[in-house]
Each structure stands twice: as C-alpha cells, then as structure tokens.
Amino acid sequence: KNGTEKRVSVIGNVGTIGTKETIEFLKEAEKTGIDAALVIVPFYVKPTQEGMYQHFKAIAECTELPLIIYNVPDRTSSNILPQTVVRLAQDCKNIVAIKEAAGCVSQVAELYSVLPEDFSIYSGDDMLILPFMSVGATGLISVVSNTGGQLLQDLMQAFEAGKVKEAMDLNAQMLPVAKAMFITTNPIPVKEAVSILTPINAGPVRLPLVPMSSIEKEKVCDVFKKYGLIK
C-alpha cells in the first residue's frame, strides 16, 4: 500500500487438501487484507463432482471475498467439470472465476458456453493463452509474467483488438520463454529466473523441491540470451 491507497489487488492462494483446513486458512488470510482468494480443487483425495461442489459451496458460505476456483488436474488428479462450475456459479454469488489449467481447449469452450457472462475464465497456462482466449478465456494467471509480463500483455491486447496475426507472432516469441519456465518442476525455474532477470532475490526453493541442475540453468539462460532478456 501507498499510505491508504492500494497499488494493486492481491489474490491469496488458500486452497488445501480438506474443506475445514481451507476455511481455517482462508480466515487467517482474510486478516491480511487480501482482495480475493484462489482455491484449488483438493489434491490427492480425488473428490467426486458432488464432493467438489460441496467443498467450494462451504468455503463460499464462510466468506464475503470473491473466490476463484483453481482447476489443475495434472497436480490434483481431479478435474472439476463445467456443469459443476455452473452449479457453483449459480448457487454461490461470490464464486466469480476459474483458473483453468486442465490443458483442454474444448473444456474452456464448454465453460464459456454454459457459464454466466460475468463469470471470468482465466487460463492457468501461459502456453495456451492464445487458443484459450479464442474460445472464451478472458485473461491469464501467469508464470512467465513474474519475469516481465509485457509480451503476454501485448499478445492479449493484440488478440482483443482483432489483430490475430500479430497475436500469433507474439505468441511464437513467448512460447520458448514459457517452455523454459517448465524445463523442470514449476516453480523451480521461475524462482531462479526472477533472481536472474530482476533486482529481486527470490531465494531458494524448499524441499522436496531442489534447485535446477547446472545443465538446466544453462539451457534457461540460453533462451534468455536468444530473446534479449540478458546479455
């Protein structure tokens, strides 16, 4: 904050493996002044669609904050389906968006076709932002933007302005950088990239994550050099 004026809105990630624990975490996070909360589909336990509905409904009922569902089956082993998201959007007015990282363009298209117009669909994958926007996504919750999001911003603005070829060309420039951020498990590369490309020392990862190997780091730096991010 700058005095009493907020410079940016802050979304707090509060999702955990259980409903009770998530609510407790959310209540603590609310005390920090966050503007919204990101809540992941519970990982490991593989809830049914009804279980996911009841989970998010219970969380929504305990807060006035806007909530964003985070769907990332690769990490949770569970995929919240569009019809479950529709039920939640209809029954919980403070569930306002989804971070969709299932990697499926057709699922984004279905979400767009069945959700209310004011419900936001965010891509959870930098490399899929362009095809996702083409079927209804409105924005991106990004990894690459941590090291400078201007290229992604230009890409999305070009697409929204109807400059599809320009957006395609910008997407082609962005893809190698995005791929470099996933040369090993996220967020290992992006933390190192922040320390390399910005004045911020992002610090080490915590176990069970480990730093990139010297070979991986060299490959990432080669990409940065190729695209003029470092000399």
Q: Which residues are the active-site residues?
A: 70, 99
Contact 144, 154 (CB under 8 A): no
Contact 123, 100 (CB under 8 A): yes
| Percent composition of the chain: helix, strand, coil (DSSP 3-state, to 5) | 50, 10, 40
| Beta-bridge mates of residue 95 | 67
Distance separating alpha carbons of residues 114 and 147, to the nearest angstrom: 34
Contact 37, 14 (CB under 8 A): yes
Residue 110: left (phi > 0), alpha (psi -120 to 50), or beta? alpha
Distance separating alpha carbons of residues 151 and 171, to the nearest angstrom: 8
- Neighbour tally for 31: CB within 10 Å: 7
Give start and end residues of each alpha helix (H) in the chain: 19-30, 49-61, 73-76, 82-91, 105-114, 129-134, 150-160, 164-180, 188-197, 214-226
Distance separating alpha carbons of residues 30 and 12, to the nearest angstrom: 9
- The dihedral built from the CA positions of residue 215, 219, 222 and 224, taken in this order, carries a sign that is negative
